[in-house]
Amino acid sequence: MALPVDEPATRPYRVTFVCTGNICRSPMAEWVFRKVVEDEGLDGLVEVDSSGTEGWHRGKPADHRTDAVLRAAGYETGHAARRFDATWFPSYDLVVALDSDHLRELRRRAPDDAGRAKVRLLREFDPDADDDLDVPDPYYDGPEAFEEVLTLIESAAPGLITHIRSHLTTAP
């Protein structure tokens, strides 16, 4: 007898990061968090990807400044932008918005209350975050803005991995 598709033992915990165009913040969060998952020994138990609320850059690589900041910090890169599709909600356990506009848009697109409950802001997981939980869009700024985004993402990563661990049925 096959287990239901949403049974935790049948598939990894799936998390996606979502920004606007899927070329700056969300791919950066994806690659940072992939490394966290690997470092925590959760490969195979947690899957990480990213997308955007808009499809302007579909199929394009991450912004060159995103890749430069990631490489300089020792992370891998490699990306093809895609637009988040509301039909994906059932396949994700957690949909992580990078700012409050994304949060509102994703919750608006969610098919039901269960989908809306999956959408959280990344900085909610940073215990040192102030009242502004948005990760700012660095696209129109210089390299220092991309470095700031990396710092904010890295600050939220420990709290996010703790949250995910608490939802795994079998975690090392």
Residue 159, CA distances (Å) to 8, 154, 156, 165, 170 in order: 21, 10, 6, 10, 19
Instruction: Judge if pTM exceeds 0.75.
Output: yes
Q: How many domains does the structure of the chain reveal?
A: 1
In this structure, what is the dihedral angle of CA atoms 89, 170, 9, 50, given to the nearest 10 degrees?
30
Is 156 within 8 Å of 129 (Cβ atoms)? yes
Q: Is 7 a member of any domain? A: no
Q: Is 6 a member of any domain? A: no
Which are the catalytic amino acids?
Answer: 19, 25, 137
The domain in which residue 54 lies consists of 12-165
The label of the residue with tokens 């608490």 reads: 166
Enter the tokens of residue 166: 């608490």
Confidence (pLDDT) at 5: 45
* pLDDT tens column, 8-37: 445 899 999 999 999 999 999 999 999 999
Q: Is 1 a member of any domain? A: no
Q: Is 81 a member of any domain? A: yes
Q: How many CB atoms lie within 10 A of CB 87?
A: 9
* pLDDT tens column, 89-114: 999 999 999 999 999 999 999 999 99
> Lowest-confidence range among 47-61, 77-91, 104-118, 149-163?
47-61
